[in-house]
A and B are shown apart, each in its own frame.
Chain A
Amino acid sequence: MHLLLLNGSPKGESGNSNYLLQLLKEGVDQIPGHTQEFANLVRVKEHRHYVELFQQADAVVMAFPLYTDMMPGIVKAFIEELEPLCGREGNPALGFIIQSGFPESVHLRALEAYLEKLTRRLGCRYVGTALRGGGGSVRSMPSFMVKELVENVHALGRSLGETGEFDRELVTRFSKDETLPLPRLWFIGTLGDRMARAFFWHREMKKNGAYERRVARPYAEPPEGW
C-alpha cells in the first residue's frame, strides 16, 4: 500500500497534526510492505499537485484541528479541489485524524459526520475517523503524559498497515471522553482555567507586552452607518 499523509494544520509542520501523523507513520512502518509520503495542506498553491498525489495513493489519511467547529479553511479549500474526483474509479481509501483543544470529543462529532459523508461522496473506502479532544499541546508535553497517546496512535498505524482501516475499538479508545463528568467539568472551568491563565496565557501575553490589553475590545465602535 502507498499511503499519503496529508497534514491539514494551518501551523504546518509545527502543529500537533503533523506530530500525530508522524506517530501514525511509525505504526504503519511496523508492518512491512508499505510506502508513505507526506504533504502539507498549508501550501495552498500546491493543492493541485496534492490532488495528483491523492489519485496515485492507495490510502490517504488527513489530520487537522477543529477550527470554528469545522475543518480549517485550508482543508476546505483542498476538499473543493477534490470535487472532480467524486465517484471516479480507483479513488484511494480515506481516513482522518481530527483533534480539538477542548477536552471533550463531542465538539468533533459534526465534523466526523461530515467526513464520513465526504468519503461516500468521493466514492472512497472509509478507513475511519480517529478523533480526540484535549489536543492543544500534546506536542510539547513531557513523554510520560503522552505515553498512552503515542501507543494508541502507533496501534492505529499498525491496524491501518494490517487491515487497511482503523480498528474500531482503538478509535473508541482514542476518543476518550464524549463529555466530562460534572466534577471534571467544574475543575477545568474554574481552577484548571485559572492555572492555564497563570502558567500559559498570561505569561505569553506579558512576553508580548499585551497583558494589560488582554480583554481589549478593539471593535467596540460600530461600523459606519450602524
Chain B
Amino acid sequence: MTTVPLVVKALRAGYARHTVLEEINLTVNQGEWCALLGPNASGKTTLLHCVSGMLAPTAGAIEICSRSLQADPRGAKEKLGFACAPDRLPGLLTGRQCLEIYAAAKGLSSIDADVLRLAEEFRYTPMLDVFVDTCSLGTRQKLAVLCGLLGEPGLIVLDEAFNGLDPASALVLKRHLRTRVSDGRCAVLLATHDMDIVEHYADRAALILNGRIAHEWSKENLSALRAASWEGFEAAMAEAAATTL
C-alpha cells in the first residue's frame, strides 16, 4: 500500500493575532507535482512553513507520509525535504559544510549520489568551498535545493525555488524533479509564480487567495487547458481569481 505524501486537513495558521490561512484542505499523492499559486501575501509561504514544521498551526492537522507532524514531528520530518529560503542559509559556513550538516541532521550515512550528480549538473561543485554569504542569490538557491533533496524524501517542498536560477540550471532542476516524480519516488509541492512550470511540468495546481484554496486544477483539467490555447492556463487562473475576488 502506498502512503500519501501530504495530507493537510482544516488548517488554520497565522502570526500573533493575524490569521493568514483559514480552512486549508490539500492532498498531494505519490508521483504528483502540485503547484501552489497565488498573488503575493496570499499565504503560500505560510502554508509551506506549516508543512515544514517551522510554524505551528493554530488548528488542523498535517500528515507527511502518514505521519502526523504534530504527534510525531521527527517521523514526519524524516520523510520531508524542504528547501529553505536562500537567506536562511548560514553565511559563515561553506556549501560543503551546509550539505554535510544537513545530511547528518537527517541521519544519513552518506550524501546521495543523485544529489552530488545534480550539484555537478548545476555547476555548483567548484563553489562547494565558498562561504555562503559571498555567493550570489542563484548559487545560494542551488545549495538550498540540494539540501532539500537530500535523503530521498517522500515529499519535497519548495518555495519559489526557481528564483535566481539561470535558465540552464532551472531546466536541469525541472527535469530532475520530473524524473523523481515520474518514477514514483516522491511528491513535489512547489509554490511558484512561474506559469511555465504549471503548464509543462505540474500534475495539479491549487490557487490560494486570501488564505483559502480558491480553485484547484486536476491533471485532466491541466491537460485540457494545455491543449485548448496558447495562454490556456494563465487565462483560466485569471478567471478563477476574478471570480473569487
Do A and B associate with each other? no
Report which B residues bind A (CB closer than 8 A): none
